[in-house]
């Protein structure tokens, strides 16, 4: 399978690395904090499964992450800049209204902001590794990650910050460059979620509570289905079931309103049967 890489200008002209594979309807996937397109989507095969299922998979590295540029100072991190970057990528690649946008953790938060902003045409979304509290709250979690960045060399095994600090040091070349990010993030309100009119599929690990309750988020969205996969917030993306769930999520979005409006267990049951 051919994998291509290019650079497109994000907000303010910052260079963003974008990886693509596959042909077909476009799916734009945004990775999580301290991660990259390679780690989140390619390393464990999730993007390849989508491409093999007949989709054009588009994987930007967020600013400050992976092979994308790192802003010099707070001026490069205005409010909602990650959503602004995603909009810039969508415009640069001329992605049409058939686009599906998805994300994991921070990428899911950014996807939800894209839907709420309504400035690009998106026919559906996948929110992975995300619960209700991760969208409508999050200040304590932001403070946790700021603490991880600032004290990344001081945490001992067993400390809550230790695993996150190890992940940060393994994947981010300039950790201090990410500190202004948290001031740029904007929480959503429950009323913001209720007016999202695109169908949404949630994909979450059965042991993942890092961003709160995925079932509660499902209930807060007008049109949503939840697919559960084995694992925690960190391990779910490493399982083959995660890639299968993304393919199943796309199938649900292709069916759109008839499936999602029923709010039954049929989506999960069909996914479980296909994964056996």
Dump pLDDT digits (tens) for 26-51. Answer: 999 999 999 999 999 999 999 999 99
What's the pLDDT band for 272 if we cut at 50, 70, 90? low
Query: Backbone dihedral region of 12: left (phi > 0), alpha (psi from -120 to 50 degrees) or beta?
Result: left
What's the pLDDT band for 187 if we cut at 50, 70, 90? confident
**Separation between Cα atoms, residue 61 and residue 12, nearest integer Å:** 16
**Separation between Cα atoms, residue 76 and residue 209, nearest integer Å:** 31
Per-residue pLDDT, 186 = 86
pLDDT of 227 > 50? The answer is yes
Contacts (Cβ under 8 Å, ≥6 apart) of 10: 16, 63, 68, 69, 84, 85, 88, 89
**Separation between Cα atoms, residue 125 and residue 29, nearest integer Å:** 10
**Extents of the domains making up the chain:** 3-275
**Separation between Cα atoms, residue 268 and residue 163, nearest integer Å:** 31
Task: Answer whether CATH 3.40.50.1820 is correct for domain 3-275.
Answer: yes
Question: Is residue 95 classed as helix, strand or coil in its secondary structure?
Answer: coil
The structure tokens 């497109």 sit at 8
The continuous run of DSSP H or E covering 87 comes out as helix 81-92
**Separation between Cα atoms, residue 260 and residue 219, nearest integer Å:** 12
Question: Is residue 190 classed as helix, strand or coil in its secondary structure?
Answer: helix
């Amino acid at each position: 399978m051919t994998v291509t890489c290019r650079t497109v200008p994000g907000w303010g002209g910052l260079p963003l690395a974008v990886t693509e594979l596959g042909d077909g309807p476009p799916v734009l996937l945004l990775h999580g904090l301290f991660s990259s397109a390679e780690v989140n989507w390619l390393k464990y095969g999730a993007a390849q499964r989508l491409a093999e299922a007949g989709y054009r998979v588009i994987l930007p590295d967020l600013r400050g992450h992976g092979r994308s540029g790192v802003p010099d100072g707070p001026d490069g991190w205005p409010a909602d800049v990650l959503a602004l970057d995603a909009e810039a990528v969508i415009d640069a690649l001329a992605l049409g209204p058939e686009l599906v946008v998805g994300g994991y953790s921070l990428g899911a938060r950014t996807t939800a902001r894209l839907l709420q902003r309504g400035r690009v045409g998106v026919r559906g979304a996948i929110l992975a590794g995300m619960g209700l509290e991760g969208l409508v709250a999050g200040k304590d979690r932001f403070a946790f990650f700021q603490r991880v960045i600032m004290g990344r060399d001081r945490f001992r095994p067993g400390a809550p910050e230790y695993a996150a600090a190890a992940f940060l040091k393994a994947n981010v070349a300039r950790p201090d460059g990410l500190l202004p990010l948290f001031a740029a993030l904007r929480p959503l309100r429950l009323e913001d979620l209720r007016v999202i009119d695109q169908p949404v599929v949630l994909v979450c690990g059965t042991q993942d509570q890092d961003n709160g309750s995925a079932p509660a988020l499902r209930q807060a969205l007008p049109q949503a289905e939840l697919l559960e996969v084995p694992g925690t917030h960190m391990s779910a993306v490493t399982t083959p079931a995660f890639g299968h769930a993304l393919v199943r999520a796309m199938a649900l979005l292709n069916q759109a309103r008839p499936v999602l409006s029923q709010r039954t267990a049929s989506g999960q049951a069909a996914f479980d049967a296909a994964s056996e």
